[in-house]
Amino acid sequence: MHFLDQAKIYIRSGAGGPGAVSFRREKYVEYGGPDGGDGGKGGDIVFEAVAGLNTLIDFRYTQHFKAPRGGHGMGKDRKGAQGKDLIIKVPVGTQIIDDEDRETVLADLVEAGQRLTLLEGGLGGRGNASYKTSTNRAPRQHQPGLPGEELWVWLRLKLLADVGLVGLPNAGKSTFINQLTNTRAKVGAYPFTTLHPQLGVVRHKEREFVLADIPGLIAGAAEGAGIGDRFLGHIERCRVLIHLIDIAGTDPAEAMQIVEEELSAYGGGLEEKPRLVVLNKIDLADPELAAAFASELKEAGADQVFAISGATGEGIDALLDGVIAYLPAATVTERPQGEREEQDETPWSPL
């Protein structure tokens, strides 16, 4: 499946149906008169967040969405049919942004099943029966239906994850997320093997959380260098960030500073999020070198440094313990091991 996190679409609600001009004329019916019904209301444009979607690729091929108009009013006081609402299904975490300035957020759909009526259909017009009075017994006026609303909007997807993974290219992020989850992220001995965000579910000590991996950052990403910073929006909603640093790559303190500067340049509150600094690939270095680099990182501003190996799994349990400390308490209380529910010794009876 191709990943797409931005799309521009055109939406238009349905117009209201016109009212009818009609008169009752039946043999042996002494009193006739106007009986034109009202037009039906046009369909609304409704956005719905659904679980199971994580891309906007469908909107690359279908970009125009138009709700049906309301039906015409008819004789015998029959009202026109209401236009069916057009429901546009989007992934959870989708923002709807006004096309005029590309900054105004019209809606933010962050829960599965959340619905929003963005454009309402036009009201149906009045038929001539509604104009009948004691002095105007044969009205011929009617109303056309009100037009629908139309709008160009941008859809922008920001994935919902509890923990975000950042670092320079080749820091071992793909290997790390593959070690913890069932994600099959591409791993290679060259930069930018990850070209779009990856999501995985981590299970640790009877807890679950969603981990998001984004393409690596390099110096100048805020100005468009490399893949740029366009994917940083996918970790804006994370509670904590894991900053992976390659022990065998660029000087660790310099690598940490580069990513910190890019997060600060991007904004969006990323610079204020708690971060866990992780020294990765310790299987490629001796313990003394790892301890020396950890000291350098603490001198550069890191509160705590976790030393791990994404390939062998060494040190990952301690890191996950640190991650869980930043997550909300579990919603389901687990029963302690060894504790069982008391048995009901009352004999069973069908009565």
Residues at the binding site for GTP are 167-174, 192-196, 213-216, 280-283, 309-311
Exposed e or buried b for every residue in 122-155, given b needs 16+ CB within 10 A? bbbbbbbbbbbeeeeeebeebbebbebbebebbb
Q: Which residues are annotated as a binding site?
A: 167-174, 192-196, 213-216, 280-283, 309-311
Distance CA 15, CA 2 (A): 35
Distance CA 85, CA 95 (A): 20
Distance CA 166, CA 159 (A): 15
Q: Which residues are annotated as a binding site for Mg(2+)?
A: 174, 194
**Angle formed by the axes of helices 316-324 and 173-180, nearest 10°:** 80
> What are the E-state strand segments in the chain?
6-12, 23-24, 33-34, 45-50, 64-66, 86-91, 94-98, 105-109, 115-119, 150-157, 163-167, 198-204, 207-213, 240-246, 275-280, 305-307
